[in-house]
A = this chain, B = another copy of it.
Amino acid sequence: MPVNRRVTLAARPAGFPQESDFACDEVSSGSPGPGEVLVRVLWASVDPYQRGRMSEARSYAQPLEIGDVITSQSVGEVVESNDPRFSPAELVVGQLGWQEYAIARAGALRRIPPEVDPPSLALHALGATGFTAYFGLFDVGKPRAGDTVVVSAAAGAVGQIVGQLASIGGCRTVGIAGGPEKVRDLKELYGYDAAIDYKNDDVVAALRDERVDVYFDNVGGEISRAVQRRLTIGARIVICGQVSQYNAPKPEPSFHPGLLVVFRARMEGFLVSDYVHRFDEAARRLAAWLASGRINWREDVTEGLENAPRAFIGMLNGENRGKALVKVAERTT
């Protein structure tokens, strides 16, 4: 049984996470039981929702306990399989966590087909964040051709895909991100029709001539308040995340529901996990758009599992340019 290096929760972060809130240890990988698969992790994902799991507050998922491996989607190769659906050396993706080896139930893994290249795409454009963009935009936001779709954290893992999907759907797209590099990506890589640098632009002024039919919100707070001034009658606000609130001791009430009467507007939250039965649909369509060059993507890769906490903290600070990932190991096969 190989040695398994893991990153665990050492302490619940008080406000903004510190590296000392995480610990690195080594344990035996264990052996897979019946119906289980031992996976060697190659890539681990770094996502804002993980911050929620580190808090004690009950949410849509159980909080982590102190000492637990940090939850994440990871891509790995099968080392040993006790299930006929998987064979050694196959690439899989699943909720494997920040560790070098994971044992998973076969039914909780998805095989990564060879056309997903690089396989790390299964962690973003052709995985959870891509699916989040797809269902959040199309099923919740319901854009019509000609609509203006505004996206916050538009250069992030979800936002970069949302903008391109909205463009494919015939919408005008306005992306909001922090700093000139990300804003350049919004325009040159992700094809946003307009891009706003919230760190250097006056967001209210920049939106003055926009009419917001769909607001795909990843951040909440001040940026959302600026966008909401420009809603149209019948507008839809998709609540994907509220990253501006994740490190607050208590989320700040930031929204006045009366605004929804003024604009006869709808605000709706969703979780990608509710769409599992349609992941194949999203994967097929996203793959076709990637193959035809209609969807671009960017990864921000941190080398080494031990640096995952730093990558996570950096992402919460908005330092990543593209999907934040940790490269844990090279493929052996």
Contact = CB atoms under 8 A, between A and B. Distances in A.
A274 interface: yes
Contact of A257 (B60, B254, B264, B266): B254
B220 A262 contact: no
Nearest to A244: B258
Interface string A246-287: 000001111111111111111111110010000000000000
Contact of A269 (B251, B253, B257, B271): B257
A59 B242 CA distance: 27
B260 A267 contact: yes
Nearest to A257: B239
Contacts of A156: none
Interface string A235-246: 001011110010
A271 to B, nearest CB: 6
A81 interface: no
A255 B252 contact: no
Interface in A6-25: none
A252 B240 CA distance: 23
Contacts of A251: 256, 258
A263 B266 CA distance: 15
A117 B47 CA distance: 62
Nearest to A256: B251
Nearest to A259: B269
A320 interface: no
A240 B264 CA distance: 10
Contacts of A164: none
Given A240-B261, A252-B256, A266-B269, 17 more contacts: A60-B261, A217-B257, A241-B261, A242-B257, A242-B258, A242-B261, A245-B256, A245-B258, A253-B254, A254-B256, A254-B257, A258-B269, A259-B269, A261-B270, A262-B269, A265-B268, A266-B267
Nearest to A265: B269
B260 A239 contact: yes
B255 A256 contact: yes
A224 interface: yes
Nearest to A274: B264
Contacts of A269: 257-266
28 contacts: A60-B261, A60-B262, A60-B264, A217-B257, A220-B257, A237-B257, A241-B258, A241-B261, A251-B258, A252-B253, A252-B256, A253-B253, A253-B256, A254-B256, A254-B257, A255-B255, A260-B267, A260-B268, A260-B269, A261-B270, A263-B269, A264-B269, A264-B271, A264-B274, A265-B269, A266-B266, A266-B269, A268-B268
Contact of A258 (B239, B265, B266): B239
Interface string A140-163: 000000000000000000000000
B264 A267 contact: no
Nearest to A273: B264
Given A217-B257, A253-B253, A254-B253, A270 B262 contact: no
Nearest to A242: B258
